[in-house]
Structure formats: structure tokens, C-alpha cells
Amino acid sequence: MSERKLRILSINHRDWLNPRAGGVEEVVRQTATRWAAQGHEIRLLVSNFPGAKETDFIANGVRIMRRANEATFNWLVPTCYRSLFAEADVIVEHLSKVACMLPLCTSRPVVSYYYHLFGKSLYGNVAWPVALYVEAMEKLAVRVYSQCPAIVISKSTASDLVKHGMPPEKMQVVYCGVNQDLFRVADTTVKTPFPSILWVGRVRKTKGVDLAVEAFTQILKKEPKAQLTIAGTGDYEAELRRSITARGLDHSINMTGYLSELQLREQMQKAWVLTYPSPKEGWGLCVIEAAACGTPSVASNSPGLCEAVHDGETGFLVPHGDIPALADKLLLLLQDFSLRTRMGIAAEAWSRQCSWENTAADSLAVLQKAAGKT
């Protein structure tokens, strides 16, 4: 690898210290901080948020610049902060929200970092004008960024992009890693004494958390002592809490709200099984984190998740939206200790192949090539 150092401008809607940070921000943190540790100059341009105490500061070697608000971020970046572009050897834009369309407004090398396309998955889960807007902007973005190098976090996302017109030769699949120092197997005595299921993520209807609750109600008929923990926050949280209370499930379902990394690890180590019935993911980071803790998963057989879970080995995949199938596979793992143990061991072994060091190195190689410094 070249010893020449890059000036990298990284652009994302949020930084990892944002209260609404999620899996994308973890990728940003794990890659950018490693690049900075190697001596590259990293600037991270993100949106501001209410209550933010700092707008321009250094965190783990990365200069974080909070500008504009999240709703207008993609419009203001190319119009108000273009002076930052000229100071970079290469620009990497994390396309997790609506794109900034940077290739239209700079001659500097741009690398797109793709997670997944929402496509039609938003319809029925958000207001239809929002879903229509996001879908239209995604289609436009694929055309605008089609001649830029692209880092893609899964083969599923790469396949989706090809269908939308992205040249396959422009894409490099780089899997996400897992924090192996943090997420690890604990002593088996930490497992809950009762059957326990964990759901982790942004509490949004688009993430399938309502499906997890529906399946859990069926599980309770055969395992009345089972418990479901929902870890995370989001715009669907209040409605979900009301629904749980209305069903009389407060004694069986625990909504934790925000958890620190250590608290999240504890939940993953304690749970018997993780469930993630999401219609579409770029990868499914929580599945790999749970796997690193020796906890198998039951997830939707949907883009991204179909690669994160090895069906029949590290967990089970079920047709998305099939509540009986989801409940059946969860029950199978809850009731079969030998199967659960075997899948947990396989899941932990699989997670060890997912390294943030590899993610950072492979993605940096794409940036170096785009900047002409290899």
C-alpha cells in the first residue's frame, strides 16, 4: 500500500456521537478513525443536531464539522460548503440518506459508499410523499454516481445497484466488521434463566420491530415465561409502547431505550436468540455483533440479512412478513438447547471473519486508487 497520505473529506448525515447514530455511523467511525491513525488527514462533514455542544472538533483523530440540519443537509452541502471540496484529495460520501449529488458540483474524485437502497420498502411505513421523494432521489443518485468508484457493503446491495443501472465494474464489495474487543462470548452463566429474545436497532416500523412483537405473541402461547427485549430508540417507539401496553404485554416485553455499547453487549450475551425481521438491510450489523457474543439469529430472508445469517448454520432465515415461520424458528431455538448451542458456536466463528481492520484497509484502497495515489 502507498505510503503517501491522503486528505480525505468524508460526508455523512450524522457523526457517531449523534444521539441518532446507527450502523452507518459505526462504519464511519471504524473506518475514519483507522485512516486517521495511519496518518491520513480526515475531515468528516455531517449535519448538526439540537443540543450539540460542539460544531467543529477533533474526535479520535478525525475533525468533525457539524453544519446545517439533517433535513436540508443534502441540499446545503453542495451549495454552501464547496470550499471544502478543493482541499481534499478524495471525497467519500456515505449514501445512507438522500444523496448530495457531489459529482455534479466538484471535479475532485468522489467515491460513493453504498449501504442499501430503500426502493419501495418505505411505502406503507412512512408518508407516501416522503417514500416517493426518497425513491426518486435514489434512482437519480445511481445515475449521477454511476461513473464514480463505489464501495458497497454487501453483494445484495451490489445486485440492487446493478438493477438500477450501476456498472458492476465500478463497485467493490467491502463487508462491515465487528468490534471484536467489545463483542465477545461471555460465560454461559450470564444467559437469562428464562427463554429470551432480543431485537436491536432503530425503533422504526421499517425495521420490522412490529413483526417481532407479532411473532412473540404466538411464542407466548407455548412459552409463557419467554421475554422479548427491544433495545434502541426511534420515531416508532412511543406508538410501539402504546401497542404493547394495549395488548397487556408490559410484563413480557421490555423496551430499554438507548443503550451504551457495554449495555448492548450485555443484552446480546444474555439473550438466547436475536431476531431481526427487517425487509431490507445493507448488511445487518446487529446480527454479526450478536454472533460475536455467541448468540444465533432468526431474521428475514431479505437483502443484506441473507448474507449476515448463514441459514441453518448461524441461525435461520424466514420469508419476510411470514409471522408463523418467524415464530416457529424462534421457538425451535428457544426449545432446543443443543441446536441453540451449536448455532451459537458457529455464529461466533463466522463473526471472527468480519474485521474492521479489513474493512478500513479495503475501503482505503478504493480511495487511494480514486485519488491516483496507489
Report the pLDDT value the prediction gives residue 65, as an integer from 0 to 100. 97
Picking from 262, 286, 261, the residue whose alpha carbon sits closest to that of residue 274 is: 286
Report the pLDDT value the prediction gives residue 97, as an integer from 0 to 100. 83
In terms of domains, do 65 and 200 share one? no
- Average pLDDT along the chain: 93
pLDDT, average across residues 308-322: 97
Domain total of the chain: 2
Query: 21-30 pLDDT, tens per residue?
Result: 888 999 999 9
Check which CATH number belongs to the domain holding 83 and give it.
3.40.50.2000
C-alpha cell at 160: 440492487
In terms of domains, do 149 and 19 share one? yes
Please state, in angstroms and as integers, the Cα–Cα distance from residue 254 to each residue in 229, 238, 297, following that order: 5, 13, 19
Query: 332-353 pLDDT, tens per residue?
Result: 999 999 999 999 999 999 999 9
pLDDT over threshold 80, residue 12: yes
pLDDT, average across residues 46-64: 95
In terms of domains, do 220 and 275 share one? yes
In a domain, 128, yes or no: yes
In a domain, 251, yes or no: yes
In a domain, 268, yes or no: yes
Rounded distance, CA 363 to CA 366, Å?
A: 5
In terms of domains, do 65 and 142 share one? yes
In terms of domains, do 316 and 364 share one? no
pLDDT over threshold 90, residue 238: yes
In terms of domains, do 333 and 364 share one? no
First to last CA, the chain: 7
pLDDT, average across residues 268-283: 94
Query: 99-123 pLDDT, tens per residue?
Result: 999 999 999 999 999 998 887 777 7
In terms of domains, do 107 and 226 share one? no
Q: What is the dihedral of CA 236, 239, 240, 244, to 10 degrees?
A: 180
Please tell me the pTM assigned to this model.
Answer: 0.82
pLDDT over threshold 70, residue 2: no
pLDDT over threshold 50, residue 262: yes
Share of the chain above pLDDT 90, in %: 82
Query: 29-41 pLDDT, tens per residue?
Result: 999 999 999 999 9
Using pLDDT thresholds of 50, 70 and 90, give the confidence band for residue 130: confident
C-alpha cell at 144: 449521477
Share of the chain above pLDDT 70, in %: 98
Quickly count: other Cβ atoms within 10 Å of residue 235's Cβ. 13
